Amino acid sequence: MSESKPYSRGKVSEMIMYVSQLLENGKIHLTDVDMDLLEEMKKEFAQELTELGQKETQRYKHTLDWTSGNKIFTFVLGFTQDGSFSKSDKIHTSTLNTMFYGDISKNVSFYNYSKASYEIGGEKPIWVGLDPRYIRYPWRGLSDSYIIFGGSWGDIQIGKDTVLWGPGYHGVIGLAGVDPTFDMIRFRTRVWKLNFTNLLGFLRDDLNKKYQSDVPKKYLSAHRFEITPYPGVCIAWQEAYVYAENLQIELLNPIMPYQMAEDYLGDIGNNTMEGDIVITLIPNMKLYSALFLDDFHPDKNPFKYSGFPWAILGGIIIADPFRINNTDVILEYARVEPWTYTHKGTVQNPPIPTAYKHFEVPLGHWIGPNSDDLFAQLDWQINKNLSGHASYDRIRHGEIGGNMYDVADYGREEKRFLEGIVEVKNIFDIGLKYMIFNRFEMNVSYKQIRTKNKQNEETKLPKYDKRWQSWKPGWNIIINELDIKLSFRY
């Protein structure tokens, strides 16, 4: 039930083993489609399952498979072709990707995923010139790469990877998996019923600097405690501290409460905390909720005081509702208060990159501050090769307190949720996914996006950027979009 993701290949293999044992002991029942999908997962994780003691099973073939003693190397080559078509735009994206992973020894493993893409059509992203990710646009290259040193005590991971802490299907309010990922040193261990994760992250920021080579030093210290006091209940608490310029010993200590460290160091960064709970006591049902505090003032009204930003998220996932096999329903709501994830360091002179973001992307929920998101989705796994979905998503975003580069005005005491002009998006999405043959799949989806008070992308820029635009009401638009994706890996 751990909500500290991503899971390692070893952890996923343990889950597969656990489900297989429950199945063999007659404690659970799976439909034919579920059984087919389980067998496909066994093929994907055959090497790890063999290491856990499961008898040799059929496995997927890859571009390269090599084994010698404890040394294991696997290389996978893939290609994806995306097409997005609407009345006003046609965008084609070609992506070549590679995945290289394996074990150097019993306690040392590695992973590398790299991709290079080229885009034709569409408008030039507004972040070109601010963000090094787009320095070669329309070409773009990204890579995640890390080494893990493990043992009975846990593991230490060094490299570039994603991090996703807290519950949520459509988004996470605490610490989300952002694109691009960032370099980190991550330590994980388990004691009794307690999972503990600690990380030091090396973030990037896009503050205006005189020289492009003047890269601001920005760090993330974070730790997360998860406990399962009873089967079917997982309770967690985490802290995440964003600071700049110099590493601090107090914030490198895995068990140091960051609030206490800040009382010693002073207000040198942005301290946040989050608590969440996941309940799976009811068969075929998962309930989850989370509360994120960007700043904490117990003597103030959290709904009115501008210096008390916070976010909440709650959701429910039901498998096989109304006894309809191979379906599930997801309902989720997230609300992020004005000026959440922002920090005063951004507007200081000179500015300090202490906002809760990586480049321009929030480290929390992707909707950003002064926003909420209501999401519902129905999934249907028709057979092992064919699945479908239908979803509805309503996103509201308010003007005042909704920019990642802004903070509450000094002397301003009150805030109001969705204050100012409000952009409202209603997105209807229906799609199919078909596995044409082994590892060659096609995704087709149709979206209708209805937007009220649509804003230009330039409203998201910092105000010091000469391209920045103020919000304007009255632009209502409907977009019908067809997306087609073909992907292959071997």
Domain assignment present for 50:
yes
Whether the CB-CB separation of 243 and 270 falls below 8 Å is answered with yes
Evaluate the CA torsion angle 158, 160, 166, 168 in order and state its sign: negative
The DSSP code sequence of 403-452 is -TT--PPTT--B--TT-SSEEEEEEEEEEEEEEEETTEEEEEEEEEEEEE
Residue 298: inside a domain: yes
Take residue 198 and report the two structure tokens written for it: 């600690």
Q: How far apart are CA 318 and CA 287, in angstroms?
A: 9
Report residue 227 CA to chain centroid gap. 22
Alpha-carbon distance of 136 to 128, in angstroms, equals 9
- Is the full-model pTM beyond 0.75? yes
In this structure, are 177 and 56 located in the same domain?
no
Exposure of 141 by Cβ count < 10 A (0-12 exposed, 13-18 middle, 19+ buried)? exposed
My answer on whether 45 and 183 are in the same domain is no
Is 251 part of a structural domain of the chain?
A: yes
Statement to judge: residues 52 and 187 lie in one domain: no
Last residue of a domain, one of 36, 60, 84: 60
d(CA 312, CA 333): 8
Strand ranges in 24-129 using DSSP code E only, listed in sequence order: 64-68, 71-85, 90-105, 108-120
| 30 belongs to a structural domain | yes
In a shared domain, residues 420 and 308? yes
Largest CA distance in the chain: 68
For 9, the enclosing helix (H) or strand (E) is: helix 9-24
Question: What total of structural domains would you count in the chain?
Answer: 2
Residue 139 domain flag: no
Specify if 109 maps to a domain: no
Domain containing 11 equals 1-60
**Helix and strand numbers, DSSP H then E, in the chain:** 5, 23
Residue 19 lies in a domain: yes
* Domain co-membership, 303 together with 438: yes
Question: Mind listing the pLDDT tens digit of every residue in the chain (490 residues)?
Answer: 688 999 989 899 999 999 999 999 999 999 999 999 999 999 999 989 988 888 777 888 888 999 898 899 999 999 999 999 999 899 999 999 999 999 999 999 999 999 999 999 988 888 776 677 777 889 999 999 999 999 999 999 999 999 999 999 999 999 998 888 999 999 999 999 999 999 999 999 876 554 444 567 899 999 999 999 999 999 999 999 999 989 999 999 999 999 999 989 988 999 999 999 999 999 999 999 999 999 888 888 899 999 899 999 999 999 999 999 999 999 999 999 999 999 887 777 677 889 999 988 999 999 999 999 999 999 999 999 999 999 999 999 999 999 998 887 655 778 999 999 999 999 999 999 999 988 899 999 999 999 999 999 999 988 888 899 999 999 999 999 999 999 999 9
Pair 47, 182 in one domain: no
> CATH number, domain at 189?
2.40.160.130
> To which residue do tokens 């787009």 refer?
134
